[in-house]
Structure 1
Amino acid sequence: MVEVLANLSRGPVFLAGETIHCDISFHHPGPPSNTGRTESPRENNRVTLAWASVQIICQCTVSESRVLLPRGPLPSTADVSSTGCDTSFVPNKGERGSTVLSTKPKILFCDLTLTAGQTKSFKFEDAIPTDSPPSYRGQAVKYSYKIIIGTQRFQQPTKLLRIPFRVLVLYGLNDLSVYNEPDEVAPSNPFLRPKQKQNTILDIATQVMATVTARKSPHSFNITNSQGRVAKLLLFKQAFKLGDDIVGVFDFKDGTIPCVQYSVTLQSEEQISEECRHKMSQGSAITSYVKHQEMCLHVDETHMSIPIPLTASPGFITDIVCLRWRLHFEFVTLCEPLDPAELMEIGEEFSSWRGPANINVETMIWDLPIKIFPSNPVHVSSVTMMKSANSIKV
């Protein structure tokens, strides 16, 4: 028996374009202790593995009632390797859906012999293509990534070890030379080291995400209906990262229509492309995440704060599906003025107001598009439920 252990040291979340580092070890613990023999046979002290290969795949699973895929292979963002179909290493064996991305398999070893108690360790490194689809679990489409480690003992079936991981996509990182400073404009300082370390794709992505989601000039929106002005919304920005808080301020002082209650819901909109829709009349799938609700009658000013979950998927678009984000507002306004307030004196400084038992109201709905970008994958790894290590016995 050989125990195969694989571990993603940094965690199970990566950006498209990053290089995955995986530590893989093969350990032979020795013959079982309950054999009842005083001396184990020589073949029990030595185990030979024929080969071991590693490969990254991305599987796409769709809902047949909502998605009608075109005939032939799925549109792929990377060339799907056919090597696995011609050898005993079939990385997508037993997987659901279709393979839309498959890197070239890398051979760890051929003909490896382990003695009892011996361990052999290997390091696997491979880059995730920058044009890969992101990890996503929607109502109609699912993209899932896995590292597949295949190995085989002589005259025994192939065993596969799977390690799922998550991929975040930040568009615009295809050419890193745009972000790296060229040599001719680099400062010439004799005290600087001659070789400057180039920024990694994670460093560049972090700078880009911080720039596009930085707070700039606030956005002001006047919320009105057919009868007049309801409120004024001040939103400090419309581009956010995973884990950010969406903060806004409502101003009801200058409103001509009293607002009784408002609610704000963070929603994602999953839209299937026209070529892949099962029915041309089918609409988008809406998923709600976080909701903020507040009573605001006789309130001059209030604010909202909606956290964006780190487990959510940033906006993206592929040949099959497009994911967008929005804030869904609902305002409950009065259709007619209230009766004069009935005040009840409580002491000398305080009074209370008793509202009417029934009021005539109407609800106004408004959707505000926003943009959500990825966050640092190291931070996202801290809340993911994925395991960064797995093992099998061969």
Structure 2
Amino acid sequence: MIEVSAALLRGAVFLAGEPLECLVTLRNPLPPDATSASSEMLAWASAQIHCQFHASESRVALPPSEDSRHDVQAENETVFVPNRGERGHCILSTPPKILFCDLRLDPGESKTYSYCETLPVDGPPSFRGQAVKYVYKLTIGCQRVNSPIKLLRVPFRVLVLHGLKDYQCPQDEAVAPSNPFLEEEEGAKKDSRLADLATELLMAATSRRSLHLYNISNSRGKVGTFCIFKAVYKIGEDIVGTFNFSEGDIPCLQYLVSLQTEERIQEAFQHRRGQPVSYSTHARHQESCLHTSRTSFSLPIPLSSAPGFSTNIVSLKWRLHFEFVTSREASQRQVPPEGPPSEEASRWLGVEQMDVDTFSWDLPIKVLPTNPLLASSVSQVPGANSLTI
């Protein structure tokens, strides 16, 4: 018996184009005083990254799969298929890498191997929607002689930032003076530059602030104005907006703001023409605002959510969905009586019935990925797994 464990070194969230590093440890759990006949042997082990695509059959029409490989494996078969037994289609995979061949472990002995692979930049981000799912996994295959291959899978999450794949190292960096007292490998320098570039691109795109004013009105007149200071955000940020109802002609009784994603299947893959778009609500704020001049709201973008993206099958967009309830008649603001306070108590009562109108409005926004280390801090993906052979 051999215990195999795999653990990602830097959390379970990565940017496309970043290197993924994993330590694979194999251990013979028998005590060291066991006989030499208790040594364990493994023929080989390989590792590979793949992205699995799942689609709802009632919403997505896919062409027949060309993959005719069976999920059942013969004992003497040595072909490493990382997505064997998985649902859906494998749409992306890296070349397999051999970790070792002919490994022998004595009782109590363990060995650790390092696996490193750069994540492809042309793949989709991790996404779990109502109609489509993109799931990334690192699969490690191990086999004893004349035994079936055992698969160990480690799930992780991928964020895609457009523009990274077009990045080229500036020429002045190649001739810049370096610190002779610091030893840094060339690969580590490139990875650091990639992470720094991603941070710069995100900061440049999301730190620009400009006042966006929108007039809110219906068929009866102006209700108020809405103000937001930017339209591009990172996941994990808060969306802050303010309302000004003091200049409106129509009283607003209540408003609801929802942060939503719009999952749209591309027309060529729709199960039926004109099928509805799927919406998911991630945060909402509701407030009664009669006689309110100014008010505001703050909606957090969950770190576990996917940024906006588009593939040949599905597109994901973000929006703010507003719903307003307005009065059909102008209401009079109640104010306390003038003069010195009276000993007689007074009571103010709201109207029992009121004729109202309702209308909605959608404001598109753009949501980008964030620093993968920040997303890893709240990720529910364990980034490690183990099995016994």
What TM-score, normalized to structure 2? 0.89
CA contact (8 A) 2:227 2:242 kept: yes
The residue that corresponds to 1:260 in the other structure is 253
> Which residue identity lines up with residue 27 of structure 1 in the other structure?
R
Q: Which runs of 5+ in 1 are unaligned?
A: 33-38, 75-85
CA contact (8 A) 1:274 1:280 kept: yes
Q: Which runs of 5+ in 2 are unaligned?
A: 68-76
CA displacement at 1:218 relative to structure 2: 1.5
Q: 1:123 aligns with which of 98, 114, 117?
A: 114
The residue that corresponds to 1:138 in the other structure is 129
* 1:150-182 Cα shifts (integer Å, max 9, x gaps): 0011222211110000011111111221xx432
* 1:10-65 Cα shifts (integer Å, max 9, x gaps): 10111111110001111112269xxxxxx855331x11100000000111010000
Describe the SS at the equivalent of 1:336.
coil
> Which residue identity lines up with residue 359 of structure 1 in the other structure?
M
Q: Aligned pair in 2 of structure 1 residues 170, 158: CA closer, same or farther (>3 Å)?
A: same
Q: 2:318 aligns with which of 314, 325, 328?
A: 325
After TM superposition, the structure 1 = structure 2 runs for residues 55-134 of structure 1, keeping only pairs within 5 Å, are 55-72=48-65, 87-134=78-125
> Which residue identity lines up with residue 111 of structure 1 in the other structure?
D
Query: Within the alignment, does 1:23 sit opposite 2:23 as a pair?
Result: yes
Partners of 1:120 and 1:163 in 2: how far apart? 19
CA contact (8 A) 1:343 1:351 kept: no
> Which residue identity lines up with residue 333 of structure 1 in the other structure?
T
After TM superposition, the structure 1 = structure 2 runs for residues 240-319 of structure 1, keeping only pairs within 5 Å, are 240-319=233-312
> Which residue identity lines up with residue 15 of structure 1 in the other structure?
L
Query: Within the alignment, does 1:383 sit opposite 2:378 as a pair?
Result: yes
Q: Aligned pair in 2 of structure 1 residues 246, 158: CA closer, same or farther (>3 Å)?
A: same
* 1:268-317 Cα shifts (integer Å, max 9, x gaps): 00000011000012021011110101111111101110000001110000
Partners of 1:164 and 1:190 in 2: how far apart? 38
> Which residue identity lines up with residue 358 of structure 1 in the other structure?
Q
Partners of 1:6 and 1:29 in 2: how far apart? 16
Partners of 1:225 and 1:186 in 2: how far apart? 62
The residue that corresponds to 1:36 in the other structure is none
The residue that corresponds to 1:77 in the other structure is none
Q: Aligned pair in 2 of structure 1 residues 73, 306: CA closer, same or farther (>3 Å)?
A: farther
Partners of 2:310 and 2:333 in 1: how far apart? 54
CA displacement at 1:90 relative to structure 2: 1.5
> Which residue identity lines up with residue 8 of structure 1 in the other structure?
L
- For these two proteins, the number of residue pairs brought into alignment is 374
Q: 2:225 aligns with which of 211, 229, 232?
A: 232
Q: 1:182 aligns with which of 158, 171, 184?
A: 171
Partners of 1:111 and 1:189 in 2: how far apart? 43
Partners of 1:116 and 1:335 in 2: how far apart? 83
CA contact (8 A) 1:344 1:351 kept: no
> Which residue identity lines up with residue 28 of structure 2 in the other structure?
H
Partners of 1:340 and 1:17 in 2: how far apart? 59
Partners of 1:131 and 1:244 in 2: how far apart? 26
Q: Structure 1 vs Structure 2: percent identity of aligned residues? A: 48
Moved more, 365-374 or 208-217: 208-217
CA contact (8 A) 2:45 2:98 kept: yes
CA contact (8 A) 1:341 1:355 kept: no
CA displacement at 1:209 relative to structure 2: 0.8
CA contact (8 A) 1:343 1:352 kept: no
Partners of 2:44 and 2:87 in 1: how far apart? 25
CA contact (8 A) 2:291 2:333 kept: no
